[in-house]
Structure 1
Amino acid sequence: MKIKHTILLVAFILCAGILKAQQPENILAAVGTPPNPKVQVSWNRYNDHAAITDICKKLAAAHPNLVKLESMGKSFKGKELWVMTITDSKVGSGDKKPAMYIDGNIHSNEIQGSEFALYTAWYLAEMYASGNKAIMSLLADKTFYIAPTINPDARDNFIHQANTAHSPRTGLIPIDNDRDGTTNEDGFDDLDNDGQIVMMRRKSVTGRYKVDPTDNRRMILVSGEEKGEYELLGSEGIDNDGDGFVNEDGEGAYDPNRDWGWNWQPNYIQGGAYKYPFSIPENRAIVDFVMKHPNIAAAQSYHNNGGMILRGPGALEDLDTYNALDIRVYDALGKKGEEMLPGYKYLVVYKDLYSVFGGELDWFYGGRGIYTFSNELWTGYSMYNKTDGEDSQTQLYTFDKDLLMKDAFVDWHPFKHPTYGDIEIGGFKKTYTRLHPGFLLESDAHRNMAFSVYHAYNTPKLSVGEIEVKDIGGLTQVTAIINNERMIPTHSSQDVKNNIETPDIISLTGGTVVAGMIVTNRDMNFTVEQNRDPANIKVQNIPGNSFVTVRWLVKGGSKFTVNVSSKKGGLASKSN
């Protein structure tokens, strides 16, 4: 018993030493990092919906003046669709500030989008709490709406069930893919119960594959008259429904990124489309949230993979929607993104990838006039920081061996298959090829966070500049300049063209307004009068990095106040 007590005492002393080493006074914070975060999160792993919920709730509890947590609605299976509102609530109401909307994980196997969105929320809150002036200024001016996962049902399926890196890509509403009258009866089968769905191979005299002599994990296609040793049989599985096919009818088959009400097409034209636009409950909840928050001026959706900063249009048929003025804004943001995200390329969906009808990206811009990017996270460039062969199969094997200690591969091992007989099972785990290895996850999360912050920073920032008051004989002429100090206008050209959002209102108080006008050329005294409600001048747009000039003719008064109200530009006020 004495020995046992001694061991416990030693353990206590060691633990006490460890705890002391973790105290703030014992830590030298790296630059650009919260020095002593209230919410401790490890950013080298992936979180299921329960863990995401826990992190969101902890952030809201630890930073009540910054983070508000609410649910946009429920998923098909009843999970909460969490969204965090992040802003300095002591400096104005969040719904009156220009806002950035961020979501991730619309495709269920593209899970790191949730970690990137969560990291953004965590970083903003913790850096504000640490006294970082740049973040404090940002959250005084802007609002962030961050929805970590918008496909939580299938996310949990990917994390907790045996899957490949590519399944399930979709949601979990049951669909009969093979049209045999039943759903979900022939999905993947974890034959050896190791939690991984990898590949099946068997020896065959007619096989077209052989083992790579430089790496016995890899199968390579033979050429010419060379004889192969193996045939590949696809992913692990059996023919559950006896129709002669394996793995063709898993859980869900609709694509939630083909469900949006902009250039939507039915399934026979756009594979993956569901019943009608916004027929998927998760997307319907997002649309309702966005419509209730007209202050959203910028948006970011996180996908994987390939290292891309994508903008629309998704299809050639929609090319005219993206006009030159808006493309200038997109180009400026996208090119900056290429600098901030090594290995990423700024691309256009339809031109550089493929056609997408009914995509989230296009609805946000086309339907709401919001400047929106979709980042395809993870690029092979990050493996060795070089572009040569960045997507090659060879690099996947060497990187796993050199830097991951072969943790990404399930070694080939024998199995008796009920249909194929003696086979071998092996291959890359589901957490490789599309997803970040742990040690690279936080680095890329930080860079993508910074790009989103840059985007949000460049949403409109309005101020009232010069106010000129001039006596013109019986009346007072008040002229005011309204500045937009950022790149993004208060209304995109798509917004102006389609009258999506209400005009900006520039108001004057302090006297009886008898006339109000927009000044189109101050030097030449050219104006356009607004005949109705002259005290509240309606302006279609305040351009980015520019200004508008307005004027009133007023009876009485000498002290005037100019107020500006813009849905996407926020509020501004000044008195003479």
Structure 2
Amino acid sequence: MLFPLAINAQKSDEIFRAAGSPHNPKVQISFNRYYTSEGLAALGKKIADAHPNLVKRQSIGKSAFGKDIWMLAITNYKVGDADRKPGFYVDGNIHSNEIQGGEISIYTAWYLTENFGDNDYITKMLNDRVFYIVPTINPDARNNYMKEPNTGSSPRSGMIPLDDDRDGLFDEDGYDDLDGDGSITQMRRKSPNGTMIIDPTDPRKMIGVGPDDVVTAQRYEFLGSEGIDNDGDGRINEDTHGYYDPNRDWGWKWQPDYIQRGAYKYPFSLPENRAVADFVLKHPNIAGAQSFHNSGGMILRGPGAQEDLSTYNRQDIRIYDAIGKKGEKMIPGYRYLTVYKDLYSVFGGELDWFYGSRGVYTFTNEIFTPFAYYKDKNGGRNQTYDFDKDLLMNDAFTSWKTFNHPTYGEVEIGGFKKNFGRATPGFLLEEEAHRNMAFTFYHAYHMPNLSIPTIEEKKLSGGLKEITVSIQNDRLMPTHASQDLKYKITRPDYVSISGVNVIAGMHVLDDDFNVTEEQKTNPAKMRVANIPGNSIIKIRWIVKGNSKYTITVDSAKGGVVTKKSN
């Protein structure tokens, strides 16, 4: 009898650690593949179970078809109050086929937890900040894309059907996987009037011919994606996998479907987005956010539409620019762009809701660019065939084969599979995840970081004392974005003193010329509208009594800092 040998993880003395990688991971994950919604959930649970002092896992809601939307809250729970640390929100996969965000999110959670205690940068990050990571906010649609026949671009959105051709019927004539390979590829047919021939240098390719070209090779015509006339109306694929778009559903400058295709009934009518919004509203400590889409290699900021241009003022755009331009360096081939100006108009988008409604600095990264094929900025999509042959060993292409079509007769079916083009190839996926994660960390690093560097005392007559406190924010982001200040989204920051009898409290407007502004009501708890980035503000009190006192800075997005007198 033969018994299979047990296959165990490699021992530590069999491994030489590569720079930038975890020392000895408790959770082993392969980042050269994609995971279903259930797969992502299982990985999240493994990470949470392996690191109970760093991860709290919870469902923030249910999808349209009842799947849990899992979130990992990651911080050092032994240091400080997790709910009072500056929070950074991450999500991916709002669109079904834009799958890389799930793996990048899981990679981020894995990297944070596995490097804590070994890497000083990560350790300090988790001591000071909390990350809220939702790998997929659209679990139903993720599974549909992966498990059902689809193109690389379908279904793009949610799982509530949309009447694409507005005939009152839903998906009555969608794609059909005629060859049963799980991908919707292309159909072609031999035709004397066709405008395409097979490329003599590569039988996978079709090349065009002009009306005056002398052609002796077999001509072909393209018939579109795989499909048949399911509803007997004489058309094929005219109502193909249309679904409402979750990224047109957010409650900021929302527009109905007849103005912007894809919008559903009203803002937050889709349960997945509503679950995210409810979570964010309960966590005013969230100061930064990142959403992962695909594709094109872009780092995007709002506004989504020109009509919303005034929302983003110059002061906040400088912060966006600093982070976005750093991202271009960190992720080669990516471009930092503005949605409405460089792409198209989006109303009711996630980017604008996070910033416009919550005052949270937010980016969307469009994952993967053809630059990655040969690291050549002049390459692009024309290199897909070469890349498949040279580096994927022809794994991304379904070879042409004949099929007896009920309408067209004998056709040929073939083309690139749904997991190629928009989705990052496996051997490049971990690099993509790491670079985008590092950009996320840079963004999170520049959330407010408050400290009390100095406390100055000055004796006055009558047993009184003047106490001047400096509060420093040494990162790019203020405690309140301009949008936050404009609409008073988040409460003011508070700087308070305890242990003494406070006679007066004031903001120091100009220390050199001793210009101050008194707060006459409750001076022991000074209200501060904002602590700008890379700046110091000063608060002054006139007090009487005890020489021992405590200063506390309490900011919704900047955290809580205390310092005792000497």
TM range (shorter): over 0.9
Helix, strand or coil at the partner of 1:116: helix
Tell me, yes or no, if the aligned pair for 1:173 and 1:251 is still in contact at 8 Å: no
Instruction: Tell me by how many angstroms 1:246 deviates.
Output: 1.9
Helix, strand or coil at the partner of 1:488: coil
Instruction: Tell me by how many angstroms 1:516 deviates.
Output: 1.1
TM normalised by structure 2 equals 0.97
State the match for 1:282 in structure 2.
272
- Paired letter, 1:359: G
Of 366, 379, 387, the residue aligned with 1:389 is 379
Distance (whole Å) between structure 2 residues aligned to residue 348 and residue 193 of structure 1: 40
Match status 1:143 vs 2:127: no
Match status 1:448 vs 2:446: no
Instruction: Tell me by how many angstroms 1:506 deviates.
Output: 0.3
Which digits, 9 at most, give the CA deviation of each residue in 1:8-41, with x for residues without a partner? 4xx64xx5xx648x11122111111112211111
Distance (whole Å) between structure 1 residues aligned to residue 53 and residue 354 of structure 2: 29
- Paired letter, 1:24: S
Which digits, 9 at most, give the CA deviation of each residue in 1:411-469, with x for residues without a partner? 00000001111100000000001011100000110000011011111111100121111
Match status 1:123 vs 2:111: yes
State the match for 1:518 in structure 2.
507
Match status 1:308 vs 2:295: no
- Paired letter, 1:69: R
Distance (whole Å) between structure 2 residues aligned to residue 555 and residue 477 of structure 1: 9
State the match for 1:494 in structure 2.
483
Distance (whole Å) between structure 1 residues aligned to residue 161 and residue 315 of structure 2: 43
Which digits, 9 at most, give the CA deviation of each residue in 1:287-316, with x for residues without a partner? 000000001000000000010000011111
TM normalised by structure 1 equals 0.95
Match status 1:261 vs 2:251: yes
In the TM superposition, what are the counterparts of 1:46-61 in structure 2 within 5 Å? Answer: 46-61=34-49
In the TM superposition, what are the counterparts of 1:174-573 in structure 2 within 5 Å? Answer: 174-226=161-213, 229-390=219-380, 392=381, 394-474=382-462, 475-573=464-562
Tell me, yes or no, if the aligned pair for 2:204 and 2:400 is still in contact at 8 Å: yes
Tell me, yes or no, if the aligned pair for 1:337 and 1:346 is still in contact at 8 Å: yes
Instruction: Tell me by how many angstroms 1:526 deviates.
Output: 0.5
Distance (whole Å) between structure 2 residues aligned to residue 567 and residue 243 of structure 1: 59
Distance (whole Å) between structure 2 residues aligned to residue 238 and residue 350 of structure 1: 37
Distance (whole Å) between structure 1 residues aligned to residue 253 and residue 80 of structure 2: 37
Of 45, 63, 66, the residue aligned with 2:51 is 63
Tell me, yes or no, if the aligned pair for 2:175 and 2:241 is still in contact at 8 Å: no
Helix, strand or coil at the partner of 2:97: coil
Helix, strand or coil at the partner of 2:172: coil
- Paired letter, 1:552: W
- Paired letter, 2:395: D
Distance (whole Å) between structure 2 residues aligned to residue 122 and residue 555 of structure 1: 52
Distance (whole Å) between structure 1 residues aligned to residue 559 and residue 234 of structure 2: 61
Distance (whole Å) between structure 2 residues aligned to residue 141 and residue 321 of structure 1: 30
State the match for 1:156 in structure 2.
143
In the TM superposition, what are the counterparts of 1:37-52 in structure 2 within 5 Å? Answer: 37-52=25-40
Higher mean C-alpha deviation, range 402-411 or range 557-566: 557-566
Helix, strand or coil at the partner of 1:383: helix
Tell me, yes or no, if the aligned pair for 1:254 and 1:274 is still in contact at 8 Å: yes
Which digits, 9 at most, give the CA deviation of each residue in 1:466-501, with x for residues without a partner? 111112212211110000021111111111111111
- Paired letter, 2:256: P
Which digits, 9 at most, give the CA deviation of each residue in 1:326-382, with x for residues without a partner? 011111101110110010011111111111111100110111111100000001111
Helix, strand or coil at the partner of 2:461: coil
Higher mean C-alpha deviation, range 467-476 or range 42-51: 467-476
Distance (whole Å) between structure 1 residues aligned to residue 211 and residue 316 of structure 2: 52
Which digits, 9 at most, give the CA deviation of each residue in 1:260-283, with x for residues without a partner? 111111112111111111111100
State the match for 1:80 in structure 2.
68
Helix, strand or coil at the partner of 2:470: strand
Helix, strand or coil at the partner of 1:72: strand
Distance (whole Å) between structure 1 residues aligned to residue 139 and residue 242 of structure 2: 13
Distance (whole Å) between structure 2 residues aligned to residue 258 and residue 219 of structure 1: 36
Instruction: Tell me by how many angstroms 1:251 deviates.
Output: 4.3
Distance (whole Å) between structure 2 residues aligned to residue 515 and residue 180 of structure 1: 71
- Paired letter, 1:541: N
- Paired letter, 1:536: K
- Paired letter, 2:403: F
Instruction: Tell me by how many angstroms 1:204 deviates.
Output: 1.2
Helix, strand or coil at the partner of 1:366: helix
Tell me, yes or no, if the aligned pair for 1:521 and 1:527 is still in contact at 8 Å: yes
- Paired letter, 1:331: D
Number of residue equivalences: 561
Distance (whole Å) between structure 1 residues aligned to residue 378 and residue 168 of structure 2: 48
Which digits, 9 at most, give the CA deviation of each residue in 1:78-127, with x for residues without a partner? 00011110000001121110111000000100011110011100110111
- Paired letter, 2:499: G
Which digits, 9 at most, give the CA deviation of each residue in 1:197-239, with x for residues without a partner? 1000001122122212221111122234236811111111111
After superposition, the CA RMSD in angstroms is 1.3
Higher mean C-alpha deviation, range 249-258 or range 279-288: 249-258
Q: Percent identical across equivalent pairs?
A: 60
- Paired letter, 1:339: K
Structure 1 segments of 4 or more deviating over 6 A?
Answer: none
Of 158, 167, 171, the residue aligned with 1:171 is 158
Distance (whole Å) between structure 2 residues aligned to residue 207 and residue 248 of structure 1: 22
Helix, strand or coil at the partner of 2:116: helix
Distance (whole Å) between structure 2 residues aligned to residue 399 and residue 166 of structure 1: 20
Tell me, yes or no, if the aligned pair for 1:416 and 1:423 is still in contact at 8 Å: yes
Tell me, yes or no, if the aligned pair for 1:172 and 1:251 is still in contact at 8 Å: no
Distance (whole Å) between structure 2 residues aligned to residue 248 and residue 127 of structure 1: 50
Gaps of 5+ in 1: none
Which digits, 9 at most, give the CA deviation of each residue in 1:127-176, with x for residues without a partner? 115x2221111100000000000111010000001110000001111333
Tell me, yes or no, if the aligned pair for 2:162 and 2:262 is still in contact at 8 Å: no
Distance (whole Å) between structure 2 residues aligned to residue 387 and residue 277 of structure 1: 39
Helix, strand or coil at the partner of 2:526: strand
Helix, strand or coil at the partner of 2:266: coil
Instruction: Tell me by how many angstroms 1:65 deviates.
Output: 0.5
Helix, strand or coil at the partner of 1:166: coil
Of 559, 567, 574, the residue aligned with 2:563 is 574
- Paired letter, 1:342: P
Tell me, yes or no, if the aligned pair for 2:508 and 2:539 is still in contact at 8 Å: yes
